[in-house]
Amino acid sequence: MSSFFTLPASQRKRKREDRAAAPASKKRGVAASDDAASKDERRARLRDQSISGSESDEDDDVVESVESGEEEESSSESEEGETAAERRLKLAERYLENLKDEVDEYGFDAAEIDRDLIAERLKEDVDESKGRLYRQIASQLSFSTASHSFFRADTQSTTSVAVHPPYVYTVSKDRTLIKWELVKPSPVGASAAQDANGASKRPPRPQRKKPKNIKFVKGLQKASESDEKQGHTGNILTVAVSPSGKFVATGGADKKLIIWDAETLTPMKTFTQHRDAVSGLAFVRHISSSSTGEQLFSGSFDRTIKTWSLSSGGHAYVETLFGHQDNVASIAAMTTDQCISVGARDRTARLWKVVDETQLVFRGGASKNAPYHEHNIDCIAPIPPHHFVTGSDSGSISLWSIHKKKPLYTIPLAHGLDPLPPLDQLSPEVDEKTAAHNSRHLRRQPRWITALATLPGTDIVLSGSWDGWIRAWRVSEDKKMIYPLGPVGAGSTSLAPASSPPSLQLKQSLHFDAAGDSDAMEVDRSSQTEKNDKSDGPDEPEPLLKGVINDIAVFERRPESSKPGQSLHLDSSRSKKNKNKNKSAADAGPEPRGLCIIAALGKEHRFGRWKCFANNNYDGPTSQGRNGAVVFEVSFTDDVQAEKAQEEGQNGTKMNGTT
């Protein structure tokens, strides 16, 4: 009995199933070529008819006539002498006329227009976060004329700050978490009400500038879901707020990562997976559509980075990333499932790709010609999607690209050098000549970078140290260089004019005195000490911030983002139509634009009890510094000029009234 399996291999072949007849070969036969030519001819005629842009019913007749192979003499005769462009223009004019008639008959819906504007704004935000939109706004901002306001509570050194407009969250070394409400700056052109003669009816009310303390917690608190007490038992080192504004995360020296309810500041969950102090926290700016929660990255002194998922349904630990050889000093989120970190004394910055389970290592501190060598890289800030900046203990700020292992551009001594202390503090010798001889090899040390911040989607970089200033920097359009813009809030006595070339700005902003590093200070040490006691340079103004800048947060004020839920302002022509409905808003002037910068200030560095010489002298201990925070409101240059022009006009009106 034979079967398929017992037959020889030569006879073991299956019969091919019957299939539909194959199409005619293109190489043989005249019929196939004729059919192809006729098909091409029909397609060309159909394309010509579709370009002509005729009406729908007429197009259907044309298509049917072409498919049947018939020709319509009437349509060609009616369209004789009219091109396709003229036909499209005629249809466009007809569409505009119909749209105009519809608006005249039914009017337009302002709410729908607002929704369209909001949708356009949201699309712009997404483009900024993904790096598709890069705005050059640094040169349009007036950093030197920025207004400032200090605020504080009875706490120790403020270690970190996080912002979710209009709320700010600060943490300090005495285990305190405080929620503040920012004050919206006065609109441009706002003034007191005036009568017909131009005289003021009532004096303007003074506006509150300091943020309002809404709520604070300290130490252990009762959890929201149970009666168990949760909270920090050590210094709180870092804080971050989720993009939705629902959750606040804090990390401290007690190895705890605590999730708080942002509304009530009630502890929701305490994680103890880290084996050392939690030094940095960063939320991904936008929630991924593929995930159900908000992504959080945490860095620790245990040399690891952990990822977390936070949602209203629950909070969960995801995974741990290994690679750093020293404490993770700072961490920032680049995009979804990607973060960047620096490892302090291992002098590396790393880009972590969580999904790919890979990391890119960027090594610093290898420049042999630098006047000061890097020992630590302590700060990092992202410029999505492919760049970031780092700050080190050598006082340098470096611009990096994820496509290159070395920095693209480095600014040395970004915050200058510390002055040398007097001889009686340097040497126990009573004789001044002997003391100067013993300390002749000493040189001034750089002020290291203690805080960095960027505004994603723009060319703005902010840095902080203990020289008394927050300094602004501009990234070039090709993202290959960094230019200084001067200190924030320095007033008219800015260290470097904006019109000067970058090299001169850099030289003026460093305040580097070569005589301080030479052997000549042994000859005239007393005069050098007096010069150091006064200032680093003749043009340097009095320091504004007395303390160490431990952290910086920044966001852009836009008319539609000044207050949550506030509707967009329409253009000037539309606002004139609604003037009677919203007269008070029209009198107040347009919404303020610009940047809001919040900095955490302390007498000590957030990682230790290191001294801060806030006044650039050594007349006293670190008590000269101050604990708290400061808010800067940076306006656009055109708004500042408009406000000055209005003030001059009001002064002229008052003078005319008095005369």
pLDDT digits (tens, 9 = 90+) for 247-261: 999 999 999 999 999
Number of residues in the chain: 659
617 vs 376, which has greater pLDDT? 376
Bridge partners of 316, per DSSP, are 309
Q: Specify the range with the lowest mean pLDDT, choosing from 442-456, 469-483, 622-636.
A: 622-636
Name the band, by pLDDT with cuts 50, 70 and 90, for residue 531: very low
Residue 115: the pLDDT is: 72
Residue 573: the pLDDT is: 40
Average pLDDT over residues 230-236: 93
Residue 589: the pLDDT is: 52
Residue 485: the pLDDT is: 94
Residue 5: the pLDDT is: 53
State how far the Cα of 344 lies from the Cα of 605, in Å rounded to an integer: 15
CB 509 within 8 A of CB 495: yes
Cis peptide before 621 (omega within 30 of 0): no
615 vs 646, which has greater pLDDT? 646
CB 416 within 8 A of CB 447: yes
Average pLDDT over residues 141-150: 92
CB 150 within 8 A of CB 629: yes
Phi-psi region of 413 (alpha: psi -120 to 50; beta: other; left: phi over 0): left
CB 598 within 8 A of CB 161: yes
Residue 619: the pLDDT is: 43
Question: What residues contact residue 14 under an 8 Å CB cut-off, 6+ apart?
Answer: none
Torsions phi, psi of 223, nearest 5? -75, 160
For the cut 50, the answer to whether the pLDDT of residue 68 exceeds it is no
Residue 308 tokens, joined = 């977390």
Give 328's DSSP letter. -
Structural element, H or E, at residue 522: none
**Predicted structure pTM score:** 0.70
For the cut 90, the answer to whether the pLDDT of residue 203 exceeds it is no
Name the band, by pLDDT with cuts 50, 70 and 90, for residue 502: very low
Average pLDDT over residues 503-511: 40
Residue 126: the pLDDT is: 65
Name the band, by pLDDT with cuts 50, 70 and 90, for residue 368: confident
Residue 329: the pLDDT is: 95
State how far the Cα of 74 lies from the Cα of 236, in Å rounded to an integer: 85
Name the band, by pLDDT with cuts 50, 70 and 90, for residue 496: very low
Pairing of strands 397-401, 409-411: antiparallel
Name the band, by pLDDT with cuts 50, 70 and 90, for residue 124: low
For the cut 80, the answer to whether the pLDDT of residue 545 exceeds it is yes
pLDDT tens digits, 320-355: 999 999 999 999 999 889 999 999 999 999 999 999
State how far the Cα of 462 lies from the Cα of 450, in Å rounded to an integer: 11
Residue 536: the pLDDT is: 44
CB 178 within 8 A of CB 162: no
Residue 351: the pLDDT is: 96
Average pLDDT over residues 475-488: 94
For the cut 50, the answer to whether the pLDDT of residue 560 exceeds it is yes
For the cut 80, the answer to whether the pLDDT of residue 520 exceeds it is no
Residue 215 tokens, joined = 């709520």
pLDDT tens digits, 567-590: 333 344 444 444 444 444 444 456
Q: How many Cα atoms within 13 Å fall on the side-chain side of residue 350?
A: 28
Residue 591: the pLDDT is: 66
Residue 332: the pLDDT is: 96
Of 164-178, 278-292, 585-599, highest mean pLDDT = 164-178
pLDDT tens digits, 397-428: 999 999 999 999 999 999 999 888 888 878 88
Question: What residues contact residue 312 under an 8 Å CB cut-off, 6+ apart?
Answer: 246
Q: Is 356 helix (H, G, I), strand (E, B) or coil?
A: coil
Residue 463 tokens, joined = 């840095």
Closest CA relative to residue 119, chosen from 568, 464, 599, 588: 568
pLDDT tens digits, 39-67: 666 666 666 655 554 444 444 544 444 44
Name the band, by pLDDT with cuts 50, 70 and 90, for residue 524: very low
3-state secondary structure 361-426: EEECCCCCCCCCCCCCEEEEEEECCCEEEEEECCCCEEEEECCCCCCCEEECCCCCECCCCCHHHH
Name the band, by pLDDT with cuts 50, 70 and 90, for residue 131: low
Q: Please name the amino acid found at residue 317.
A: Y
CB 472 within 8 A of CB 460: yes
Q: Tokens 């920097």 appear where?
A: 473
Across 335-367, b (16+ Cβ under 10 Å) vs e yields: bbbbbbbbbbbbbbbbbbebeeeebeebebbeb
State how far the Cα of 98 lies from the Cα of 118, in Å rounded to an integer: 27
State how far the Cα of 192 lies from the Cα of 378, in Å rounded to an integer: 48
Average pLDDT over residues 518-529: 37
pLDDT tens digits, 433-474: 888 888 888 889 899 999 999 998 899 999 999 998 999 999
Q: Catalogue all structural domains in the chain, each as residue range(s) with its CATH number.
A: 130-134+143-213+230-414+449-495+541-558+593-650 (2.130.10.10)
